Structure 1
Amino acid sequence: MKVGAGNAEIMFQKELFPLEGFCGIHDLPKVSVLVIEEAQKVAIVSIEIVMLWDDFIEKCRKAVAEITDTPPENVWIHVTHAITTPHAPGGPRIGLGGEVTEGKEDSEEAELLKKRESYENTIMHALQKAAEEASLLKEAEMDVGTGSCDLIRGRDIETPGGWWIGIDGTGESNETMTVLGFRDTDSNLIAVLLSYGMKPCVIDNSEMEKGNRLISADAPGLCCRELENSLGTTVLYCTAAAGDRVPVKTAWYDQVGSDGKPETVDLGVQQGIAFAREIAGQMAAAAEKIIDEAKPVRVNEISHKAGAFVWETKGRIPLQPYRELTFTSDGKKDVPVEIISLGSVVLVAGKPEINAITERQLQERSHYRNTLYLSMVNGGMKYMPDLESYHRISWESQASMLMPGAAEAFVDKAIKLMEEN
């Protein structure tokens, strides 16, 4: 097996501000690229950004494919969904309920176009730089390790009027952190892939209305920086099943007010940054322990498979607590499913964010020792919650663009791909 890796900072320029309440930068997010070859060649890209639109993702896939000599269909562009990063100025984004909406900044059109060009060029430059580094492959072996990292909680909370999102909520959780380490023939690390179910939202939307937001890769990104410094290697963070999870500490959240209705608590950007640094240190410590105890896994062949299933979509509804609600179909949509198998490890990629219960169902039915889900790969589709989430009328089920049953159909399709010869 041969492996190459590289990363580069997304050097956002001053001309981008103000934008979406951002006024500056706390830490620069990164683009990281991992290329693996054994019969087939695949490239996994992790971009520490909130989201990217389909047209630009295709440009990114083609760029990585050309630079690393990887088939375009074998390139995965994963965004970590770091909330404390800006959407494209004036460009499309996935709004509440999964609707693709246009930006509504107050800038003049010419200024927006200038900001958008700067935004695109900055991300593409980092991507190309990281891909160039990753194109230099070395003979390698893979280690796999898992361990507990108790830094996430449920976000679904019950209010008198129905279910909403907050902190210290209920629901099934998965505190398992999985690390894939790739080492050269001298046992030096080439790259680390870190899979964990924490959405980068410790700082979240704090002080958006005041215009005090600072760009950050949030706790998972800061964790990667600590590991890169201590291990001297490229570290990719891949957000797993985090649809109904939140970090143990967050600076911006909803709670049930004295009137029984949701109310927002904003602890401020600086408190959010302090939380993010604290959690990043705890994540990094857990990851280093797992890396030290990881065991080698033989990879004789890499297999990439892709498929899709058709599912009914649903229209947008006002997001609020409900005790009763009927979901109504308004069309159909293809839901992509992809897998990459590496020995006893399989990576499962989807566009939507899923809940921990769906991740468990996927892992229970998989014949692979380690089954990892990567959300928001090659685009986003908002949430794909489990059936129980629809029964409770959770926030995720309201915001989903898919009718009930999609998560279960996704698991069926993924397992079918795993079992194909």
Structure 2
Amino acid sequence: MNEKKRIFLWISFLIMLIQSGICFAAQAPYGTLQAGAGETLIQIPPEFFPAQGFDGIHDPLYVKTLLLDNGVNKTAVVSIDMTSLGNVNQLKSIIQKTAGIQPDNIFIYAAHNFSSPHVFPGMTENAAENKKTAMFASALAKAVEAATQKAVTGMQPASIGYGTGISNVNINRDELTAGGWWHGSNETGYSDKELSVMKIDSLSGKPLAIFMNYSVQSSIMDESVSNQGKKLISTDLAGAATKYVEDQYKEDGTVAFFGVGAAGDQAPIFMANRYMTDNKGVSIRTDIHDDGYILLGLIGERLGYDAIKVSRKIIDKQTSVDLSVIHDSVVCKSQKMPMSKTADMKPVKQYTYQIDGEVKVPIDIMKIGNIALVGIQPELASKIGADIKKGSPVKNTMVLTMVNGAAKYMADKDSYDKFTYEARNSKYAKGSAELVENKIISMLTQLNSRSKASE
């Protein structure tokens, strides 16, 4: 074949492609976003009580699953109404089996409501208590499977959008008392008031899921007891806020999620069992018992209402998105934890931190179009979370803690100098949070550059 004929054939081939509407350079590597959301009650059997200090249930706990599929990749974000998670791998296996999603593509996190049981194998030497813990773990596993199956069944073409607003339901809990820095309500301390909302709609405009991210501990009823002296299970602020949202969209069957942000030093603005300082600066704790549920309802309503306001303003929505997850870690210096929690439950003016080797901190980031979900196990200080969002090159960034495991507090540098509760009750040495912040921004920069290169 001579050169002229070869060129003629190539030109003819290209013309045929153009006439057929095929353009490889412009073809998206992914199709229309598919999404599904499901939630299921954790069925705690009556014989579980009393256990782990709990005598009954005030309001039930839930598992909520959000599945995303862009035709190339599948991811899951799973919320569990618990203080922390100790059986992450087991739960990820259930999700993988039910939804066909690889464990590395699953974000599973605790909503961090303090009024809920733990699942830590062999957490006590009491055989009866361990049996009850296993009973709760079984109920949890069934709920994870059921919620995920509902999400699978509900998969449909969807759009996704993002917005932010302000909510004034958190307050810095580190307050200077006569004995040193301790729990309290510090209005002059730093609080990130930004409320981030990710909204997933069906193509007809029906809201399938509303995901809110905010820096506050779900602890309005923490350590509070009823008028009869009973301690009750509750979803607390996370549950009250998401319930308010779901009630507003009851006809649509919308599933609302609460993702706890950088809330290590952030308490709800009002608490039932709260610390206050007297006229001498001495910290005193007081409980209002059953009246605390009035606070819970009002503050939850406010946070949920603010989330709905944000979601209503979301106009820019994507139906074809990049969907990817990256993982990395950073090595930080570690410090010894207090030998006894009760011995350290007081404010101090002096404290000696003991460096004890190194500890690896895993970091997971999920990118959904122009939205980045940063997942980390430790409870970050609010300022660190805000700085990550400000430094992120991804237009819309959420910082989620308690993701894929729990690792207690990771305070900012200033907290170590003040000897705050978070700094003393941490396995991470001073400067760890700032190292993690820099690593996260570096990962976001790489992820953003890679996404632009593939466009």
Q: Same fold (TM over 0.5)?
A: yes
Q: Answer whether contact 2:244 2:305 (CA < 8 A) is retained.
A: no
Q: Answer whether contact 1:177 1:194 (CA < 8 A) is retained.
A: yes
Query: Helix, strand or coil for the counterpart of 2:316?
Result: strand
Deviation at 1:331, TM superposition (A): 2.1
Pairs aligned (count): 404
Q: Does 1:247 align with 2:268?
A: yes
Q: Does 1:293 align with 2:313?
A: yes
Taking the aligned partners of 2:309 and 2:107, their CA distance within structure 1 comes to: 28
Query: Helix, strand or coil for the counterpart of 1:295?
Result: coil
2:204 is aligned, of 179, 186, 193, to: 186
- Amino acid corresponding to residue 11 of structure 1 in structure 2: Q
User: Following superposition of structure 1 onto structure 2, how do residues 189-208 of structure 1 map, counting pairs within 5 Å?
Assistant: 189-207=207-225
Taking the aligned partners of 2:163 and 2:388, their CA distance within structure 1 comes to: 19
Q: Answer whether contact 1:21 1:207 (CA < 8 A) is retained.
A: no
Match of 2:411 in 1: 385
Q: Does 1:28 align with 2:60?
A: yes
Taking the aligned partners of 1:379 and 1:175, their CA distance within structure 2 comes to: 25
Q: Which structure has the bigger radius of gyration?
A: 2
Match of 1:228 in 2: 246
User: Following superposition of structure 1 onto structure 2, how do residues 20-419 of structure 1 map, counting pairs within 5 Å?
Assistant: 20-38=52-70, 39-53=72-86, 56-88=87-119, 91=121, 102-103=123-124, 109=127, 111-136=128-153, 137-207=155-225, 211-231=229-249, 232-257=253-278, 260-268=281-289, 270-298=290-318, 299-317=320-338, 318-319=343-344, 320-419=346-445
- Amino acid corresponding to residue 88 of structure 2 in structure 1: I
- Amino acid corresponding to residue 87 of structure 1 in structure 2: H
Q: Answer whether contact 2:113 2:237 (CA < 8 A) is retained.
A: no
Compared with structure 1, are the counterparts of its residues 169 and 395 closer, same or farther at alpha carbon in structure 2 (3 Å cutoff)?
A: farther
Larger mean Cα displacement after TM superposition, 160-169 or 374-383: 160-169
- Amino acid corresponding to residue 256 of structure 2 in structure 1: V
Taking the aligned partners of 2:307 and 2:445, their CA distance within structure 1 comes to: 31
Deviations 1:247-289 (A, max 9, x none): 1110112223466443221111x11211111111112211111
Q: Answer whether contact 2:178 2:280 (CA < 8 A) is retained.
A: no
- Amino acid corresponding to residue 350 of structure 1 in structure 2: I
Deviations 1:219-252 (A, max 9, x none): 2202212211221311111111111111111011
Taking the aligned partners of 2:228 and 2:332, their CA distance within structure 1 comes to: 41
The alignment's TM-score, normalised by the length of structure 2, stands at 0.85
Compared with structure 1, are the counterparts of its residues 415 and 48 closer, same or farther at alpha carbon in structure 2 (3 Å cutoff)?
A: same
Q: Answer whether contact 1:21 1:211 (CA < 8 A) is retained.
A: no
Match of 2:4 in 1: none
Larger mean Cα displacement after TM superposition, 362-371 or 296-305: 296-305
Deviations 1:60-94 (A, max 9, x none): 01111121111111111100111111223x746xx
Query: Helix, strand or coil for the counterpart of 2:222?
Result: coil
Taking the aligned partners of 2:353 and 2:226, their CA distance within structure 1 comes to: 32
* Structure 1 unaligned residues grouped into runs of 5+: 93-101
- Amino acid corresponding to residue 434 of structure 2 in structure 1: E
Deviation at 1:210, TM superposition (A): 7.2
* Structure 2 unaligned residues grouped into runs of 5+: 1-32, 451-455
Taking the aligned partners of 2:275 and 2:168, their CA distance within structure 1 comes to: 22
Deviation at 1:359, TM superposition (A): 1.0
Taking the aligned partners of 1:201 and 1:40, their CA distance within structure 2 comes to: 36
Q: Answer whether contact 1:23 1:211 (CA < 8 A) is retained.
A: no
- Amino acid corresponding to residue 267 of structure 1 in structure 2: I
Q: Answer whether contact 2:197 2:311 (CA < 8 A) is retained.
A: yes
CA RMSD, Structure 1 to Structure 2 (Å): 1.9
Deviation at 1:208, TM superposition (A): 8.6
Deviations 1:290-330 (A, max 9, x none): 11111223352112100111112111235232333332211
Compared with structure 1, are the counterparts of its residues 139 and 312 closer, same or farther at alpha carbon in structure 2 (3 Å cutoff)?
A: same
- Amino acid corresponding to residue 164 of structure 1 in structure 2: W
1:2 is aligned, of 31, 34, 52, to: 34
Greater RCO structure (CA 8 Å; 6+ sep): 1
Taking the aligned partners of 2:130 and 2:380, their CA distance within structure 1 comes to: 34
Query: Helix, strand or coil for the counterpart of 2:410?
Result: coil
Taking the aligned partners of 1:87 and 1:35, their CA distance within structure 2 comes to: 25
Deviation at 1:10, TM superposition (A): 1.0
Query: Helix, strand or coil for the counterpart of 1:287?
Result: helix
- Amino acid corresponding to residue 405 of structure 2 in structure 1: G
Q: Answer whether contact 1:314 1:331 (CA < 8 A) is retained.
A: yes
Q: Answer whether contact 1:22 1:208 (CA < 8 A) is retained.
A: no
Deviations 1:125-175 (A, max 9, x none): 111000001123211110212111111111001012211112245421111
User: Structure 1 runs of 4+ off > 6 angstroms?
Assistant: none
Deviation at 1:398, TM superposition (A): 0.8
The alignment's TM-score, normalised by the length of structure 1, stands at 0.91
Q: Answer whether contact 2:121 2:130 (CA < 8 A) is retained.
A: no
- Amino acid corresponding to residue 69 of structure 2 in structure 1: E
Taking the aligned partners of 1:275 and 1:362, their CA distance within structure 2 comes to: 31
Taking the aligned partners of 2:288 and 2:229, their CA distance within structure 1 comes to: 14
